[in-house]
């Protein structure tokens, strides 16, 4: 969600690079708080992009039904970023967050060979 808002706000700033720098400083500081999970390889991300997801209406309805404001924010940002980039990974993330798809990211990561 942070990258989505960074993309929206940056064009309105005199020095957008300063915002980006501070944003990533915060991300890196918080990364240590979540035990620094290994980042997936480009090949793994490509595999995740092929995971089938429900229609947008189903994902959106699940977010609306949720009492967690983070669900609303993530699904909204994922849809907006998908609209801007066309990257299906955004919808995979949204559907997974809402519990609409079940895949073992570690298992998928292990299946990909470089």
pLDDT digits (tens, 9 = 90+) for 39-55: 899 999 999 999 999 99
Contacts of residue 63, defined as CB under 8 A and 6 or more positions apart, other chains included, come to 71, 72, 74, 75, 76, 94, 98
Residue 101, pLDDT score: 94
Q: Is the pLDDT of residue 106 over 70?
A: no
Instruction: Report how far Cα 74 is from the mean position of its chain's Cα atoms.
Output: 7
What is the per-residue pLDDT for 39?
86
For residues 106 and 22, which has the higher predicted lDDT (pLDDT)? 22
Query: Does this model's pTM top 0.75?
Result: yes
Tokens of 16: 């957008």
């Amino acid at each position: 969600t942070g990258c989505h808002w960074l993309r929206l706000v940056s064009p309105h700033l005199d020095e957008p690079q300063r915002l980006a720098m501070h944003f990533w400083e915060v991300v890196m500081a918080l990364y240590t708080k979540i035990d620094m999970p290994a980042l997936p390889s480009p090949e793994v991300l490509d595999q995740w992009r092929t995971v089938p997801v429900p229609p947008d209406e189903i994902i959106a309805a699940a977010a609306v039904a949720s009492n967690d404001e983070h669900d609303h924010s993530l699904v909204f940002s994922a849809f907006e970023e998908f609209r801007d980039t066309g990257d299906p990974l955004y919808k995979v993330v949204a559907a997974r967050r809402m519990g609409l798809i079940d895949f073992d990211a570690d298992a998928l990561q292990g299946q990909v060979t470089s």
